[in-house]
Structure 1
């Protein structure tokens, strides 16, 4: 029995009803295509409204990801490691990390130009230790900014879930091309049947396990 089946059987009747109600009214095909086309616009509006006040700084990353610690990143801890943060937002991961790890160079990117601008205006932003730019990781334009086989660590925190499932494979292939041999991808995201999924109402489901929020972000 696979994990998916176990999870389905563990749902309460109320949770099953919540999932069923989502199917009574789906996002139309026109809406779904518009959300994909305007993904950058929706995230830009999100950061225009919330600036750097929505997400908390992620001080938990070195506790959860030992690979981010100096002594565990690679055998030669004197070498500056390169971290690529995809979907950096306003820097909630990179700035706490750069304060803790002096042996790290950070490359950060986001789909939203406004988010990138907020990062550049942060008091800890230092071009000697980081660079940040706008890109769409589902496309190949990132290879104009980051060399192939040049990154030790890639982080994607609550990023994959915001990407259209049809682009998962292309996205992960792009990530793989950027990693050095032996490099690692660290990610965290929503779980199947967690509260973030169960609380969506009818009219928000785009496709299986893929949803839109009220503000148009996914």
Structure 2
């Protein structure tokens, strides 16, 4: 349970001699030397960019790389969700959660490994669960804004389809973008017992969507999964504008070509009801995963390609704030989670950096 007034846990390393007594330490302060060292490593590993034709290849074939990923890993990488409802209580506002904010069934990796948070990552190559979800397991506008200023064409198209649609009779609607094999969707369905709840989930990968749809936990009366290309602004959503209470982005926006991020956030903002929220957790600048990349894997500033062809960007708080505020959203939370993870068996320390955000659509236009 997070300490009062202190997010992301309260296990503080006050005595360096106790370093290897726990798997992780919260709120780690970086020295100027450590920050300079991290900056130097990033300058070095980004000094050699992939040529434009190779970069275009990764963009054009992005769907195939993600399909291949899920064909290889299928749904064998579910992890515990101790952090999910503690950090994002908006996902189950009326549920009685346990002390750790977790009343969901636990999913465990088939191998049951605990490697200190990076799984089998080497040189930026690792499974999706190892590089994102496993890291988390150690943690515990109104219609006027959808007019001339904010992607008007997409918003008008959505408004035209008001009426009967999946989940149209629900009173609380959640959309998870980039749902993968259901790592977040199924815990929400299990934990949030609101009879008015309806959960939408989508993914770029047809294979991932098939995994969700064929899962025994999938309930079409409470959930609708669909394939969606966020980068295609002509790709329709199944729900109209201003119909969602929550949009979830967990280690998803970082996989998008940076120049396309603003358009995506704009479209997602249009889907929110006034008062609705976008919840995000993603990679922060100088996270260990960024420092481990080698020369020749960098696509552009802070944007890299992994060995499996999937891509990842490392954010600053200001970058994310700019994306969301430009979309007309108000900041509720924008925090850096700096964590020191420890592999006690190998006596190895790993510094992780994640960013967590909550941004809300205004109840009324700002003057």
Q: TM-score range by the shorter chain?
A: 0.7 to 0.9
Provide the secondary structure at the position in 1 that maps to 2:306. Answer: coil
> Which is helix-richer, 1 or 2?
1
Quick one: structure 1 residues 14 and 25, their matched pair in 2 at CA, closer, same or farther if it must change by over 3 Å? same
* Aligned-residue CA RMSD (Å): 2.1
Q: Residues of 2 paired with 1:58 and 1:91: CA distance?
A: 12
Q: Deviations over 1:100-137 (max 9, x none)?
A: 00122100000000000000111100100000000012
| Higher RCO (CA 8 Å, separation ≥ 6 residues) | 1
Task: Decide which of 14, 38, 41 is 2:64's aligned counterpart.
Answer: 41
CA contact (8 A) 1:59 1:93 kept: no
Quick one: structure 1 residues 146 and 140, their matched pair in 2 at CA, closer, same or farther if it must change by over 3 Å? farther
* Pair 1:102-2:193 in alignment: yes
Q: Residues of 2 paired with 1:64 and 1:195: CA distance?
A: 22
Q: Residues of 2 paired with 1:12 and 1:198: CA distance?
A: 12
Report which stretch shifted further, 13-22 or 204-213: 13-22
CA contact (8 A) 2:94 2:192 kept: no
Aligned length: 207
Q: Deviations over 1:186-218 (max 9, x none)?
A: 010001111011111111111111111000001
Instruction: Using the TM superposition, give the Cα deviation of residue 142 of structure 1 relative to its aligned residue in structure 2, in angstroms.
Output: 4.6
Q: TM-score, normalised by structure 1?
A: 0.88
* Pair 1:183-2:206 in alignment: no
Quick one: structure 1 residues 57 and 164, their matched pair in 2 at CA, closer, same or farther if it must change by over 3 Å? farther
Gaps of 5+ in 2: 1-29, 96-169, 312-367
Q: TM-score, normalised by structure 2?
A: 0.53
Q: Residues of 1 paired with 2:237 and 2:198: CA distance?
A: 18
| Equivalent residue runs for 1:13-92 within 5 Å | 14-71=37-94, 80-92=171-183
| Larger Rg, first or second structure (1 or 2) | 2
Q: Residues of 1 paired with 2:55 and 2:230: CA distance?
A: 19
Q: Residues of 1 paired with 2:201 and 2:81: CA distance?
A: 15
Provide the secondary structure at the position in 1 that maps to 2:34. Answer: coil
Instruction: Using the TM superposition, give the Cα deviation of residue 97 of structure 1 relative to its aligned residue in structure 2, in angstroms.
Output: 1.2
CA contact (8 A) 1:57 1:93 kept: no
Gaps of 5+ in 1: 1-6, 73-78
List structure 1 runs of 4+ shifted beyond 6 angstroms. none
